Homo-oligomer: A and B are copies of this chain.
């Protein structure tokens, strides 16, 4: 009932451990004949090398860490789920596995524990903040890592959607449709993703020589009440279109407008810088930017594996997007 070891196989086949090891790894010279003999035996007996022993011998765990935010308002977002799907799939193909770390706000102890315990060969950081403590930790510890999102630190290997370009394009399309008075409702500006989205939005206005009305820009909204207040203000200030920085904000905005019986797009237009199922349930289909988080996760994982193998990788990979024009901005 005990599992086969490389030693058992060696004895069984009358060769040495080294030979078996070589047949498996493909490293070092070995005759075609013996290799096949070993491989056959392995397949027939479903032998799997012990990853602990293998890991101990060459200082690898064959695990990567997925570090995602742990506060439940954020954890619930489909985005991180979808990323994870791509990550796990890519890892599995390479016979790697994914370990979870939850990051609570700016706290680094959870991630530090995993790194200090040497439980993983690398880390995928699920989102980035301005002056990110966990990025600092990772750099300090010398752990290989990539981030999903952008970083101001050019050393950091980043995989991100091209938020700047996407937000600029969406905004520009709406300008071309004749809108001028945009209200932007956004969340925490410590999040790099919000910073880049804001940048794209601003640059579209700039390119068309439109001065954004600062009375229509509402940032750093955390709670639903704040968002709803922003909606009230936007309407009071005669906004033509409300741009929502993400899907959760947009869901709240649309909900509030419906409760107040404000017609979309009749009385006000609405667009979102991020689309998700959260917006499926609303009456009027919402114009939004669409990304592919699963692809993001897959790319991040693939890149991290390259890094752990010492290969050169691009510092920044920007994935594409789609603009979904719907009824909410007609």
Residue numbers of A with Cβ under 8 A of B are 3, 46, 48, 50-53, 55-56, 61-63, 66, 70, 72, 75-76, 78, 81-82, 84-85, 88-89, 92, 95, 97-102, 110, 113-114, 116-119, 251, 255, 258-259, 277, 281, 283
Known contacts A56-B53, A102-B88; is A116 also within 8 Å of B48 by CB? yes
Q: Please, could you name 28 A-B residue pairs with CB atoms under 8 Å apart, sorted by A? A: A3-B118, A46-B116, A48-B116, A48-B117, A51-B117, A51-B119, A52-B56, A52-B61, A62-B119, A63-B63, A63-B99, A70-B88, A75-B78, A75-B81, A75-B82, A76-B81, A76-B82, A76-B277, A84-B100, A85-B102, A88-B102, A92-B110, A97-B101, A97-B114, A98-B99, A99-B99, A100-B100, A258-B283
Rounded to whole angstroms, the CA-CA distance of A98 and B113 in the bound complex is 13
Copies in the complex: 2
State how many angstroms separate the Cβ of A118 from the closest Cβ of chain B: 6
B281 close to A255 (CB less than 8 A): yes
Q: A95 touches which one: B3, B53, B62, B117 (CB < 8 A)? A: B117
Rounded to whole angstroms, the CA-CA distance of A155 and B261 in the bound complex is 56
B102 close to A100 (CB less than 8 A): no
State how many angstroms separate the Cβ of A66 from the closest Cβ of chain B: 7
State how many angstroms separate the Cβ of A292 from the closest Cβ of chain B: 12
- CB neighbours of A102 from chain B (8 A): 85, 88-89
Interface centre among A62, A95, A102 (most CB of B within 10 A): A102
- CB neighbours of A62 from chain B (8 A): 119
A85 close to B72 (CB less than 8 A): yes
Rounded to whole angstroms, the CA-CA distance of A19 and B101 in the bound complex is 33
Rounded to whole angstroms, the CA-CA distance of A81 and B82 in the bound complex is 12
- CB neighbours of A85 from chain B (8 A): 70, 72, 75, 102
